[in-house]
Structure 1
Protein backbone atom coordinates (compact mmCIF):
# COMPACT_ATOMS: atom_id res chain seq x y z
CA UNK A 1 0.00 0.00 0.00
CA UNK A 2 3.05 2.23 -0.27
CA UNK A 3 1.77 3.99 -3.40
CA UNK A 4 -1.55 5.02 -1.84
CA UNK A 5 -2.17 8.71 -1.21
CA UNK A 6 -3.73 8.56 2.23
CA UNK A 7 -6.65 10.75 3.28
CA UNK A 8 -6.68 9.15 6.74
CA UNK A 9 -4.05 7.13 8.57
CA UNK A 10 -3.96 5.90 12.16
CA UNK A 11 -1.14 4.02 13.85
CA UNK A 12 -1.59 2.05 17.04
CA UNK A 13 -4.81 3.86 17.93
CA UNK A 14 -5.84 2.83 21.44
CA UNK A 15 -8.72 3.62 23.80
CA UNK A 16 -9.72 2.06 27.10
CA UNK A 17 -12.80 2.72 29.23
CA UNK A 18 -12.08 1.47 32.73
CA UNK A 19 -11.01 -2.15 32.40
CA UNK A 20 -12.48 -2.50 28.90
CA UNK A 21 -10.36 -1.96 25.80
CA UNK A 22 -12.66 -0.44 23.20
CA UNK A 23 -9.99 0.10 20.51
CA UNK A 24 -6.82 -1.92 20.78
CA UNK A 25 -4.13 -0.74 18.38
CA UNK A 26 -5.93 0.21 15.17
CA UNK A 27 -3.93 0.90 12.00
CA UNK A 28 -6.57 2.37 9.71
CA UNK A 29 -5.79 3.41 6.14
CA UNK A 30 -8.22 5.26 3.86
CA UNK A 31 -7.06 6.34 0.38
CA UNK A 32 -7.78 9.83 -0.89
CA UNK A 33 -10.85 10.02 -3.13
CA UNK A 34 -12.30 6.72 -1.94
CA UNK A 35 -15.78 5.82 -0.79
CA UNK A 36 -14.67 3.82 2.24
CA UNK A 37 -16.69 1.62 4.55
CA UNK A 38 -15.76 0.86 8.15
CA UNK A 39 -17.69 -2.27 9.03
CA UNK A 40 -17.98 -4.50 12.04
CA UNK A 41 -20.47 -6.05 14.45
CA UNK A 42 -22.08 -3.97 17.17
CA UNK A 43 -19.49 -3.15 19.81
CA UNK A 44 -16.53 -3.62 17.47
CA UNK A 45 -15.20 -0.11 18.17
CA UNK A 46 -16.30 1.70 15.00
CA UNK A 47 -17.91 4.71 16.66
CA UNK A 48 -15.09 5.05 19.19
CA UNK A 49 -12.55 4.95 16.36
CA UNK A 50 -14.36 7.59 14.32
CA UNK A 51 -14.79 9.77 17.41
CA UNK A 52 -11.02 9.72 17.99
CA UNK A 53 -10.17 10.26 14.32
CA UNK A 54 -12.43 13.32 14.11
CA UNK A 55 -11.09 14.88 17.31
CA UNK A 56 -14.23 14.30 19.40
CA UNK A 57 -12.58 11.81 21.77
CA UNK A 58 -8.97 11.88 22.90
CA UNK A 59 -7.16 8.55 22.39
CA UNK A 60 -5.10 6.90 25.10
CA UNK A 61 -2.38 6.15 22.56
CA UNK A 62 -1.50 6.16 18.88
CA UNK A 63 -1.28 8.65 16.04
CA UNK A 64 -3.95 10.05 13.72
CA UNK A 65 -3.27 11.94 10.50
CA UNK A 66 -5.86 13.43 8.17
CA UNK A 67 -4.59 14.88 4.90
CA UNK A 68 -1.10 14.60 6.38
CA UNK A 69 -1.94 16.71 9.47
CA UNK A 70 -1.76 15.36 13.03
CA UNK A 71 -5.33 15.58 14.36
CA UNK A 72 -4.36 16.31 17.94
CA UNK A 73 -1.62 18.84 17.17
CA UNK A 74 -3.54 21.19 14.89
CA UNK A 75 -7.26 20.84 15.51
CA UNK A 76 -8.17 24.19 13.94
CA UNK A 77 -6.74 23.09 10.58
CA UNK A 78 -8.34 19.64 10.89
CA UNK A 79 -11.81 21.03 11.67
CA UNK A 80 -11.64 23.10 8.49
CA UNK A 81 -10.84 20.01 6.40
CA UNK A 82 -13.39 17.52 7.70
CA UNK A 83 -17.14 17.20 7.88
CA UNK A 84 -18.84 14.95 10.43
CA UNK A 85 -22.29 13.39 10.59
CA UNK A 86 -22.22 11.52 13.93
CA UNK A 87 -24.46 8.75 15.17
CA UNK A 88 -27.32 10.05 17.29
CA UNK A 89 -27.18 13.38 15.48
CA UNK A 90 -28.21 16.32 17.65
CA UNK A 91 -29.26 19.53 15.96
CA UNK A 92 -30.47 22.96 17.04
CA UNK A 93 -34.11 21.97 16.78
CA UNK A 94 -35.58 25.44 17.30
CA UNK A 95 -33.90 26.71 14.14
CA UNK A 96 -35.31 26.17 10.68
CA UNK A 97 -33.27 24.14 8.20
CA UNK A 98 -32.19 27.34 6.45
CA UNK A 99 -31.24 29.00 9.75
CA UNK A 100 -29.25 25.94 10.80
CA UNK A 101 -27.13 26.10 7.65
CA UNK A 102 -26.70 29.87 8.02
CA UNK A 103 -25.57 29.45 11.63
CA UNK A 104 -23.08 26.71 10.69
CA UNK A 105 -21.70 28.84 7.89
CA UNK A 106 -21.18 31.82 10.19
CA UNK A 107 -19.40 29.59 12.73
CA UNK A 108 -17.08 28.54 9.92
CA UNK A 109 -16.34 32.15 9.01
CA UNK A 110 -17.83 31.85 5.52
CA UNK A 111 -19.09 35.19 4.11
CA UNK A 112 -22.87 35.51 4.52
CA UNK A 113 -23.60 35.84 0.79
CA UNK A 114 -21.61 32.69 0.06
CA UNK A 115 -23.34 30.82 2.90
CA UNK A 116 -26.72 31.73 1.45
CA UNK A 117 -25.70 30.59 -2.02
CA UNK A 118 -24.29 27.27 -0.76
CA UNK A 119 -27.28 26.70 1.53
CA UNK A 120 -29.76 27.16 -1.32
CA UNK A 121 -27.86 24.67 -3.46
CA UNK A 122 -27.67 22.10 -0.67
CA UNK A 123 -31.34 22.51 0.26
CA UNK A 124 -32.29 21.96 -3.37
CA UNK A 125 -30.12 18.88 -3.91
CA UNK A 126 -31.32 17.40 -0.59
CA UNK A 127 -34.94 17.97 -1.65
CA UNK A 128 -35.49 20.19 1.39
CA UNK A 129 -36.41 23.47 -0.33
CA UNK A 130 -40.08 23.25 0.68
CA UNK A 131 -39.09 22.42 4.26
CA UNK A 132 -36.29 25.01 4.48
CA UNK A 133 -38.28 27.33 6.75
CA UNK A 134 -39.78 24.64 8.95
CA UNK A 135 -38.26 24.06 12.39
CA UNK A 136 -35.85 21.13 12.54
CA UNK A 137 -37.84 19.70 15.45
CA UNK A 138 -40.62 18.98 12.94
CA UNK A 139 -38.31 17.13 10.53
CA UNK A 140 -38.56 13.39 10.01
CA UNK A 141 -35.54 11.13 10.62
CA UNK A 142 -34.65 11.19 6.93
CA UNK A 143 -34.96 14.97 6.75
CA UNK A 144 -32.74 15.33 9.82
CA UNK A 145 -30.06 13.16 8.23
CA UNK A 146 -30.23 15.23 5.05
CA UNK A 147 -30.00 18.60 6.81
CA UNK A 148 -27.20 17.18 8.97
CA UNK A 149 -25.31 16.10 5.87
CA UNK A 150 -25.90 19.51 4.29
CA UNK A 151 -24.39 21.16 7.39
CA UNK A 152 -21.40 18.80 7.23
CA UNK A 153 -20.82 19.66 3.55
CA UNK A 154 -21.39 23.41 3.78
CA UNK A 155 -17.70 24.33 4.19
CA UNK A 156 -16.63 21.93 1.39
CA UNK A 157 -14.49 19.55 3.49
CA UNK A 158 -11.84 17.26 2.02
CA UNK A 159 -12.90 14.27 4.13
CA UNK A 160 -16.42 13.42 5.27
CA UNK A 161 -17.07 11.09 8.22
CA UNK A 162 -20.49 9.46 8.57
CA UNK A 163 -21.55 7.17 11.41
CA UNK A 164 -24.49 4.94 10.40
CA UNK A 165 -25.84 7.64 8.04
CA UNK A 166 -28.63 5.50 6.59
CA UNK A 167 -30.03 4.11 9.83
CA UNK A 168 -33.74 4.86 10.12
CA UNK A 169 -33.80 6.62 6.74
CA UNK A 170 -36.55 5.91 4.23
CA UNK A 171 -35.56 4.63 0.74
CA UNK A 172 -36.25 7.96 -1.01
CA UNK A 173 -34.10 9.96 1.42
CA UNK A 174 -31.42 7.26 1.35
CA UNK A 175 -31.27 7.47 -2.44
CA UNK A 176 -30.82 11.25 -2.21
CA UNK A 177 -27.99 10.83 0.30
CA UNK A 178 -26.26 8.28 -1.92
CA UNK A 179 -26.44 10.53 -4.98
CA UNK A 180 -24.95 13.46 -3.06
CA UNK A 181 -22.14 11.33 -1.62
CA UNK A 182 -21.27 9.78 -4.97
CA UNK A 183 -21.08 13.24 -6.54
CA UNK A 184 -18.84 14.33 -3.65
CA UNK A 185 -16.34 11.47 -4.05
CA UNK A 186 -16.35 11.84 -7.84
CA UNK A 187 -14.78 15.28 -7.29
CA UNK A 188 -11.80 13.68 -5.51
CA UNK A 189 -13.00 14.07 -1.92
CA UNK A 190 -13.18 11.18 0.53
CA UNK A 191 -16.12 9.59 2.35
CA UNK A 192 -15.71 7.27 5.32
CA UNK A 193 -18.84 5.77 6.77
CA UNK A 194 -19.44 3.12 9.39
CA UNK A 195 -22.13 0.51 9.03
CA UNK A 196 -23.04 -3.03 9.92
CA UNK A 197 -25.18 -3.46 6.78
CA UNK A 198 -22.91 -5.36 4.41
CA UNK A 199 -25.19 -5.09 1.37
CA UNK A 200 -25.11 -1.29 1.57
CA UNK A 201 -21.33 -1.15 1.93
CA UNK A 202 -20.88 -3.60 -0.94
CA UNK A 203 -23.07 -1.46 -3.19
CA UNK A 204 -21.44 1.88 -2.38
CA UNK A 205 -17.83 1.38 -1.35
CA UNK A 206 -14.60 0.79 -3.24
CA UNK A 207 -12.52 0.43 -0.05
CA UNK A 208 -13.40 -1.51 3.12
CA UNK A 209 -11.91 -1.81 6.59
CA UNK A 210 -13.29 -4.58 8.82
CA UNK A 211 -13.21 -4.15 12.60
CA UNK A 212 -13.76 -6.80 15.25
CA UNK A 213 -13.18 -6.54 18.99
CA UNK A 214 -11.39 -3.23 18.72
CA UNK A 215 -8.99 -4.15 15.92
CA UNK A 216 -8.78 -4.00 12.13
CA UNK A 217 -8.90 -7.60 10.90
CA UNK A 218 -8.87 -6.80 7.17
CA UNK A 219 -8.76 -3.76 4.90
CA UNK A 220 -8.18 -2.90 1.30
CA UNK A 221 -10.05 -2.57 -1.99
CA UNK A 222 -13.53 -4.09 -1.83
CA UNK A 223 -12.70 -6.85 -4.30
CA UNK A 224 -9.59 -7.83 -2.32
CA UNK A 225 -11.47 -8.06 0.97
CA UNK A 226 -14.32 -9.97 -0.67
CA UNK A 227 -11.93 -12.44 -2.33
CA UNK A 228 -14.56 -13.78 -4.71
CA UNK A 229 -17.31 -13.99 -2.07
CA UNK A 230 -20.08 -11.64 -1.11
CA UNK A 231 -18.95 -9.06 1.42
CA UNK A 232 -21.31 -10.57 3.96
CA UNK A 233 -19.71 -14.01 3.55
CA UNK A 234 -16.24 -12.52 3.82
CA UNK A 235 -17.29 -10.52 6.87
CA UNK A 236 -18.70 -13.55 8.68
CA UNK A 237 -15.51 -15.45 7.95
CA UNK A 238 -13.37 -12.62 9.30
CA UNK A 239 -15.27 -11.90 12.52
CA UNK A 240 -16.33 -15.49 13.21
CA UNK A 241 -19.87 -16.79 13.44
CA UNK A 242 -20.97 -17.56 16.94
CA UNK A 243 -22.32 -21.02 17.57
CA UNK A 244 -26.06 -21.03 18.06
CA UNK A 245 -25.65 -23.07 21.23
CA UNK A 246 -28.34 -22.75 23.82
CA UNK A 247 -31.16 -23.10 21.33
CA UNK A 248 -32.48 -25.96 23.43
CA UNK A 249 -33.34 -23.31 26.02
CA UNK A 250 -35.78 -21.79 23.52
CA UNK A 251 -37.73 -24.95 22.83
CA UNK A 252 -40.82 -23.16 24.11
CA UNK A 253 -40.57 -20.40 21.50
CA UNK A 254 -43.34 -20.69 18.95
CA UNK A 255 -45.03 -23.51 20.83
CA UNK A 256 -48.80 -23.30 21.05
CA UNK A 257 -49.86 -22.36 24.57
CA UNK A 258 -52.73 -24.25 26.15
Structure 2
Protein backbone atom coordinates (compact mmCIF):
# COMPACT_ATOMS: atom_id res chain seq x y z
CA UNK A 1 0.00 0.00 0.00
CA UNK A 2 1.41 3.38 -1.02
CA UNK A 3 1.97 6.18 1.48
CA UNK A 4 -1.01 8.25 0.39
CA UNK A 5 -3.31 5.25 0.40
CA UNK A 6 -2.16 4.32 3.90
CA UNK A 7 -2.62 7.90 5.11
CA UNK A 8 -6.16 7.96 3.71
CA UNK A 9 -7.05 4.71 5.48
CA UNK A 10 -5.84 6.03 8.86
CA UNK A 11 -7.50 9.42 8.32
CA UNK A 12 -10.80 7.60 7.86
CA UNK A 13 -10.31 5.41 10.93
CA UNK A 14 -9.06 8.08 13.33
CA UNK A 15 -12.30 8.91 15.18
CA UNK A 16 -13.23 5.26 15.79
CA UNK A 17 -9.72 3.81 15.98
CA UNK A 18 -9.43 3.45 19.76
CA UNK A 19 -12.87 1.85 20.07
CA UNK A 20 -12.13 -0.46 17.15
CA UNK A 21 -9.09 -1.89 18.95
CA UNK A 22 -10.31 -1.77 22.54
CA UNK A 23 -10.50 -5.58 22.58
CA UNK A 24 -6.70 -5.60 22.31
CA UNK A 25 -6.33 -3.52 25.49
CA UNK A 26 -4.88 -6.35 27.64
CA UNK A 27 -2.10 -6.97 25.08
CA UNK A 28 -1.40 -3.25 24.78
CA UNK A 29 -1.29 -2.90 28.57
CA UNK A 30 1.29 -5.69 28.85
CA UNK A 31 3.40 -4.13 26.09
CA UNK A 32 3.33 -0.71 27.75
CA UNK A 33 4.19 -2.14 31.16
CA UNK A 34 7.30 -3.77 29.73
CA UNK A 35 8.05 -0.66 27.68
CA UNK A 36 8.02 1.38 30.87
CA UNK A 37 10.48 -1.02 32.49
CA UNK A 38 12.91 -0.56 29.59
CA UNK A 39 12.68 3.25 29.76
CA UNK A 40 12.80 3.59 33.56
CA UNK A 41 16.47 4.68 33.66
CA UNK A 42 16.09 7.65 31.29
CA UNK A 43 16.61 11.23 32.47
CA UNK A 44 13.79 12.98 34.29
CA UNK A 45 13.57 15.49 31.42
CA UNK A 46 14.09 12.98 28.60
CA UNK A 47 12.98 13.75 25.06
CA UNK A 48 10.98 10.95 23.44
CA UNK A 49 10.28 10.52 19.73
CA UNK A 50 7.02 8.68 18.99
CA UNK A 51 7.12 7.52 15.36
CA UNK A 52 3.77 6.68 13.76
CA UNK A 53 2.10 7.72 17.00
CA UNK A 54 -1.44 7.34 15.70
CA UNK A 55 -3.96 8.31 18.37
CA UNK A 56 -1.19 8.48 20.95
CA UNK A 57 -1.90 5.53 23.23
CA UNK A 58 1.74 4.89 24.16
CA UNK A 59 2.45 8.62 24.42
CA UNK A 60 -0.41 9.09 26.90
CA UNK A 61 0.78 6.12 28.95
CA UNK A 62 4.36 7.38 29.17
CA UNK A 63 3.32 11.01 29.78
CA UNK A 64 1.31 9.95 32.81
CA UNK A 65 4.15 7.94 34.34
CA UNK A 66 6.99 10.31 33.54
CA UNK A 67 5.77 13.87 34.17
CA UNK A 68 9.08 15.50 33.20
CA UNK A 69 9.38 13.96 29.76
CA UNK A 70 8.76 15.83 26.50
CA UNK A 71 7.41 14.14 23.38
CA UNK A 72 7.55 14.65 19.62
CA UNK A 73 4.58 12.89 18.02
CA UNK A 74 5.10 12.07 14.33
CA UNK A 75 2.36 10.75 12.06
CA UNK A 76 1.35 11.35 8.43
CA UNK A 77 -2.34 11.29 9.37
CA UNK A 78 -3.53 14.70 10.52
CA UNK A 79 -6.76 13.13 11.77
CA UNK A 80 -4.86 10.67 13.95
CA UNK A 81 -2.66 13.45 15.32
CA UNK A 82 -5.74 15.49 16.20
CA UNK A 83 -7.09 12.63 18.33
CA UNK A 84 -3.65 12.41 19.96
CA UNK A 85 -3.68 16.16 20.60
CA UNK A 86 -7.11 15.97 22.26
CA UNK A 87 -5.81 13.25 24.58
CA UNK A 88 -2.96 15.55 25.54
CA UNK A 89 -5.41 18.38 26.24
CA UNK A 90 -7.76 16.20 28.28
CA UNK A 91 -4.96 14.67 30.33
CA UNK A 92 -2.98 17.84 30.90
CA UNK A 93 0.27 17.15 29.07
CA UNK A 94 -0.21 19.24 25.90
CA UNK A 95 2.61 21.62 26.89
CA UNK A 96 5.05 18.69 26.81
CA UNK A 97 4.18 17.68 23.25
CA UNK A 98 5.20 18.73 19.77
CA UNK A 99 3.07 17.40 16.91
CA UNK A 100 4.62 16.82 13.49
CA UNK A 101 2.28 15.88 10.65
CA UNK A 102 4.26 14.03 8.01
CA UNK A 103 6.68 11.18 7.56
CA UNK A 104 9.88 10.79 9.53
CA UNK A 105 12.06 12.11 6.72
CA UNK A 106 10.37 15.52 7.05
CA UNK A 107 11.44 15.85 10.70
CA UNK A 108 14.72 17.64 11.46
CA UNK A 109 17.52 15.06 11.50
CA UNK A 110 19.29 16.08 14.70
CA UNK A 111 20.44 13.52 17.25
CA UNK A 112 18.46 15.02 20.11
CA UNK A 113 16.19 12.27 21.43
CA UNK A 114 16.89 10.00 24.36
CA UNK A 115 14.50 7.29 23.19
CA UNK A 116 11.98 6.47 20.48
CA UNK A 117 8.88 4.34 20.19
CA UNK A 118 7.79 2.78 16.91
CA UNK A 119 4.83 0.47 17.46
CA UNK A 120 3.22 -1.45 14.59
CA UNK A 121 4.60 0.95 11.99
CA UNK A 122 7.55 -0.51 10.06
CA UNK A 123 5.49 -3.57 9.07
CA UNK A 124 3.76 -1.42 6.44
CA UNK A 125 7.06 -0.96 4.58
CA UNK A 126 7.02 -3.89 2.19
CA UNK A 127 10.52 -3.40 0.81
CA UNK A 128 13.24 -4.63 3.18
CA UNK A 129 15.76 -1.95 2.17
CA UNK A 130 13.16 0.79 2.66
CA UNK A 131 12.44 -0.65 6.08
CA UNK A 132 16.12 -0.57 7.00
CA UNK A 133 16.37 3.04 5.82
CA UNK A 134 13.34 3.87 7.96
CA UNK A 135 15.03 2.48 11.07
CA UNK A 136 18.20 4.35 10.13
CA UNK A 137 16.21 7.60 10.05
CA UNK A 138 15.13 6.87 13.62
CA UNK A 139 18.75 6.14 14.59
CA UNK A 140 19.88 9.48 13.14
CA UNK A 141 17.49 11.31 15.46
CA UNK A 142 18.55 9.48 18.62
CA UNK A 143 21.48 10.46 20.81
CA UNK A 144 24.36 7.95 20.81
CA UNK A 145 23.18 4.94 22.83
CA UNK A 146 19.62 6.28 22.68
CA UNK A 147 16.93 3.62 23.05
CA UNK A 148 14.51 2.32 20.42
CA UNK A 149 11.46 0.29 21.40
CA UNK A 150 9.91 -1.26 18.30
CA UNK A 151 6.96 -3.58 17.87
CA UNK A 152 5.67 -5.24 14.70
CA UNK A 153 3.74 -8.27 13.59
CA UNK A 154 6.25 -11.02 12.86
CA UNK A 155 6.21 -14.70 11.98
CA UNK A 156 7.57 -17.22 9.50
CA UNK A 157 4.61 -17.19 7.14
CA UNK A 158 5.77 -20.48 5.58
CA UNK A 159 5.61 -22.35 8.88
CA UNK A 160 2.61 -24.32 10.22
CA UNK A 161 2.71 -22.11 13.31
CA UNK A 162 1.76 -19.04 11.27
CA UNK A 163 -1.66 -20.43 10.37
CA UNK A 164 -2.38 -21.13 14.03
CA UNK A 165 -1.17 -17.72 15.18
CA UNK A 166 -2.95 -15.90 12.35
CA UNK A 167 -6.30 -17.53 13.10
CA UNK A 168 -5.94 -16.76 16.81
CA UNK A 169 -4.86 -13.17 16.10
CA UNK A 170 -7.69 -12.45 13.69
CA UNK A 171 -10.25 -14.02 16.03
CA UNK A 172 -8.99 -11.75 18.81
CA UNK A 173 -9.41 -8.69 16.58
CA UNK A 174 -12.91 -9.64 15.45
CA UNK A 175 -15.75 -8.42 17.66
CA UNK A 176 -18.37 -10.80 16.23
CA UNK A 177 -16.37 -13.94 15.57
CA UNK A 178 -14.27 -14.87 12.57
CA UNK A 179 -16.02 -16.50 9.63
CA UNK A 180 -14.04 -18.48 7.03
CA UNK A 181 -14.48 -15.81 4.36
CA UNK A 182 -13.28 -13.18 6.81
CA UNK A 183 -10.15 -15.20 7.52
CA UNK A 184 -9.39 -15.42 3.81
CA UNK A 185 -9.89 -11.69 3.29
CA UNK A 186 -7.66 -10.87 6.23
CA UNK A 187 -4.99 -13.35 5.12
CA UNK A 188 -4.98 -11.76 1.66
CA UNK A 189 -4.80 -8.24 3.11
CA UNK A 190 -1.89 -9.20 5.36
CA UNK A 191 -0.04 -10.83 2.47
CA UNK A 192 -0.56 -7.77 0.26
CA UNK A 193 -0.18 -4.85 2.68
CA UNK A 194 1.86 -6.03 5.70
CA UNK A 195 5.46 -7.25 5.64
CA UNK A 196 5.19 -10.09 8.14
CA UNK A 197 8.71 -11.46 8.39
CA UNK A 198 10.34 -13.93 10.80
CA UNK A 199 11.24 -12.22 14.08
CA UNK A 200 14.96 -12.74 13.60
CA UNK A 201 14.77 -11.08 10.17
CA UNK A 202 13.03 -7.99 11.58
CA UNK A 203 15.72 -7.80 14.27
CA UNK A 204 18.35 -8.04 11.54
CA UNK A 205 16.86 -5.10 9.64
CA UNK A 206 16.92 -3.00 12.81
CA UNK A 207 20.53 -3.91 13.56
CA UNK A 208 21.59 -3.13 10.00
CA UNK A 209 20.21 0.39 10.45
CA UNK A 210 22.73 1.36 13.12
CA UNK A 211 21.56 -0.29 16.32
CA UNK A 212 23.16 -2.80 18.64
CA UNK A 213 21.66 -6.28 18.55
CA UNK A 214 17.93 -5.95 19.36
CA UNK A 215 16.62 -7.90 22.34
CA UNK A 216 13.11 -9.28 22.04
CA UNK A 217 11.30 -8.28 25.22
CA UNK A 218 7.69 -9.00 24.25
CA UNK A 219 5.49 -11.36 22.28
CA UNK A 220 1.73 -11.78 22.23
CA UNK A 221 0.40 -13.75 19.30
CA UNK A 222 1.87 -12.25 16.15
CA UNK A 223 3.05 -9.07 17.87
CA UNK A 224 6.74 -8.95 18.82
CA UNK A 225 8.60 -6.18 20.60
CA UNK A 226 12.34 -5.39 20.51
CA UNK A 227 14.53 -3.13 22.59
CA UNK A 228 17.88 -1.83 21.34
CA UNK A 229 20.32 1.07 21.60
CA UNK A 230 21.72 3.28 18.86
CA UNK A 231 25.33 2.60 18.02
CA UNK A 232 27.68 5.38 19.04
CA UNK A 233 29.07 5.75 15.52
CA UNK A 234 26.65 6.10 12.62
CA UNK A 235 29.28 7.14 10.11
CA UNK A 236 29.53 3.61 8.78
CA UNK A 237 26.86 3.12 6.14
CA UNK A 238 24.45 0.36 7.23
CA UNK A 239 23.86 -2.58 4.94
CA UNK A 240 21.26 -1.87 2.28
CA UNK A 241 21.60 1.93 2.50
CA UNK A 242 22.72 4.13 -0.34
TM-score by length of 2: 0.35
Which structure would you say has the larger Rg? Answer: 1
Structure that is richer in strand per residue: 1
Structure that is richer in helix per residue: 2
Higher RCO (C-alpha under 8 Å, 6+ residues apart): 1
TM-score by length of 1: 0.33
